[in-house]
Structure 1
Amino acid sequence: MGYTKTAMLMAAMTALFMGVGYLLGGSGGAVIALVVAAAMNVFAWWNSDKMVLRMHNAQAVTRGDRLGLHSMTVELARNAGLPDPEVYLIDTPQPNAFATGRNPSNAAVAVTSGLIQSLSREELAGVIAHELAHIRNHDTTIMTVTATFAGAISMLANFALFFGGSRERAGLLGTILLMILAPLAAALVQMAISRTREYAADKAGAEICGQPLWLASALEKIAVGAAQIDNDAAERNPATAHMFIINPLHAHNHDSLFATHPATENRVRALRAIAQQSREASTRATRPTSQSRIPHTRKGDRTGPWS
């Protein structure tokens, strides 16, 4: 259902973009708009990971780091059937994380220093598993494309006043409405896609790490931290907000048309339901509950940072 909804929303975004192109230049304008969108998406698809990591001043984490962040990420990636991703650390006190990259073979997971300080090792594993789920589901590509479409639609709508074709087809009032409503509609579709993909990544992330409650606990802690602690880089680059596991911009915490993320309590409720279903299935089958897949856990590794 999640993929079907995403496909429908992507089709709506494409139709909206071509519709704006048609109002600007007729059928030829629609074709040109589609070609321009394709070119922009290819550029964004190829370069988005480097651009986003640079925006947030992310620093590469190498194999053998003190906390074992790299080895944890690699082992969870292998659990997910993924190539080894690059691992980055962002020096900001706000607990958060995101994934980026044009495909699973060219992907990166970035976590903040605040996330490591705030979470236990198990909770961090849940967060990394969630980000790996985005990579496995190709969400990093989907969200790059939708963000590019949204930006292009806004640009075309602003051009509307300077082209006679749009005024002839829609009139002055229609053109003004186009300038206002087209970018708004694009933003709503982008946000809806983002919310849909977050729910899917929560479910897949729980499967990757083997413990839905680890991610549920992490989401609750991250939501509190993100609401109280500023993320200056995210505030300077709000277009990247949808990439994070929790909205870094202190947005209202509820599922609404204008939310880039689902409400945290709804996500936690869904994860707890998955955990309950797993326990019930295990009881019926008279075998142990789902196995955790956190690498190299030691008895003292309960809160961050770990030693």
Structure 2
Amino acid sequence: MAVVGSILFGFYAVVALFVYAMFGGGTTVLALIFAGSVLFVGVQYKIGKWAALRSVGAEDMPEDDPRLREVHRSVERLSDDMGIEKPRLMIAQMGVPNAFAVGRKGAGVVVVSSELIRLLDHDELEGVLAHELAHIRNRDVVMMVVGQGIASIVGLAAQFIVLFAGDNDIADLFLSFIVGNIVQFLVSLFVLAISRYREYVADSDAAGAIGGGDPLARALEKISNTDHSRSQIDENASALCIFGEERSLLSKILSTHPPTEKRIEKLRSY
């Protein structure tokens, strides 16, 4: 994570230096660049969290239902074992069995679909819950928001540099738009590669928390064998979910998740 953070900061630092140089330097400009970037990423983080929960109609998970009370107890035990506070638990009708986590340590939220609770056995469900708790403990959601925020900042800065380095005519406007999108896309490819790697890490941490990888492997098999054409999960929330579909080579490159069969194979080797 230190290496990942350093590389992301490197992308940001290069663009910040360009903008800094264009305005002739000065501590005020540098402070404005930093403050504006932090504000941009912070707003993106808050809006993204709210939008993901709202998109699936997530509601607080009650404890009066015996099956749901069992979920609460599992999360309490796993959270204690993993050294984090118990996150807020929510439930949603997603049309398909799935789950995702948002937030960070001390302010995390785990959303579980009612379809997932009905589909999985207890140990399989614990594997999924441990995976989501690992994301919160490892600050993966925060890192991905920062990564996508930096990609957006770099893209916008590239547009700005191209636009003001030229003659400010209509040709420069179109060129800046194209260059900005290409630059943002290239940085996003790196961020997506990080996301796929962090899924493997969360799988590994979950296997350690529950004493083996087989329950989570079985859960992923059941989830992947479900008809996902009925999914009510939008694109933004889907990127956070434990299961993400992948089909073509391009979709695998642009996916936030590694191939499910590879995840299952790794889990069964633990």
Candidates 239, 253, 258, aligned match of 2:254: 258
In structure 2, relative to structure 1, the CA distance for the partners of 1:95 and 1:9 (3 Å cut) is farther
Q: Which runs of 5+ in 1 are unaligned?
A: 275-307
For residues 184-213 of structure 1, the C-alpha deviation after alignment (integer angstroms, 9 at most, x for no partner) is 113212211111111110000111111210
Instruction: Quote the residue 1:138 is aligned against.
Output: 139
Instruction: Quote the residue 2:110 is aligned against.
Output: 109
| Residue range with higher mean Cα deviation, 200-209 or 48-57 | 48-57
- What is the CA-CA distance between 1:73 and the residue it aligns to? 1.5
Instruction: Quote the residue 1:100 is aligned against.
Output: 102
Amino acid at match of 1:100: V
For residues 1-39 of structure 1, the C-alpha deviation after alignment (integer angstroms, 9 at most, x for no partner) is xx355335423542465478579x467599455432211
Q: TM-score, normalised by structure 1?
A: 0.73
Instruction: Quote the residue 2:77 is aligned against.
Output: 75
Contact 2:63 2:72 in 1 (8 A): yes
For residues 89-141 of structure 1, the C-alpha deviation after alignment (integer angstroms, 9 at most, x for no partner) is 1112211111111x311111111122112211111110000001111111121
Amino acid at match of 2:260: T
Matched residue SS, 2:230: coil
Instruction: Quote the residue 2:236 is aligned against.
Output: 239
In structure 2, relative to structure 1, the CA distance for the partners of 1:239 and 1:47 (3 Å cut) is closer
Instruction: Quote the residue 2:93 is aligned against.
Output: 91
In the aligned structure 2, how far is the partner of 1:158 from the partner of 1:146? 18
Q: TM-score, normalised by structure 2?
A: 0.82
Contact 2:246 2:259 in 1 (8 A): no
Matched residue SS, 2:185: helix
- What is the CA-CA distance between 1:76 and the residue it aligns to? 1.5
- What is the CA-CA distance between 1:179 and the residue it aligns to? 2.7
Instruction: Quote the residue 1:291 is aligned against.
Output: none
Instruction: Quote the residue 1:230 is aligned against.
Output: 230
Amino acid at match of 1:58: A
In the aligned structure 2, how far is the partner of 1:257 from the partner of 1:136? 26
Contact 2:156 2:180 in 1 (8 A): no
| Residue range with higher mean Cα deviation, 29-38 or 142-151 | 29-38
Matched residue SS, 2:100: strand
Matched residue SS, 2:269: helix
Alignment of 1:120-269 (within 5 A): 120-156=121-157, 163-165=163-165, 172=172, 175=176, 177-225=178-226, 228-234=228-234, 238-247=235-244, 250-252=245-247, 256-269=252-265
Instruction: Quote the residue 1:36 is aligned against.
Output: 36
In the aligned structure 2, how far is the partner of 1:203 from the partner of 1:167? 53
CA RMSD of aligned residues (A): 3.1
In the aligned structure 1, how far is the partner of 2:203 from the partner of 2:167? 46
1:63 is the counterpart of 2:63: yes
In structure 2, relative to structure 1, the CA distance for the partners of 1:228 and 1:242 (3 Å cut) is closer
In the aligned structure 2, how far is the partner of 1:117 from the partner of 1:58? 17
In structure 2, relative to structure 1, the CA distance for the partners of 1:46 and 1:176 (3 Å cut) is closer
- What is the CA-CA distance between 1:63 and the residue it aligns to? 3.1
Matched residue SS, 2:108: strand
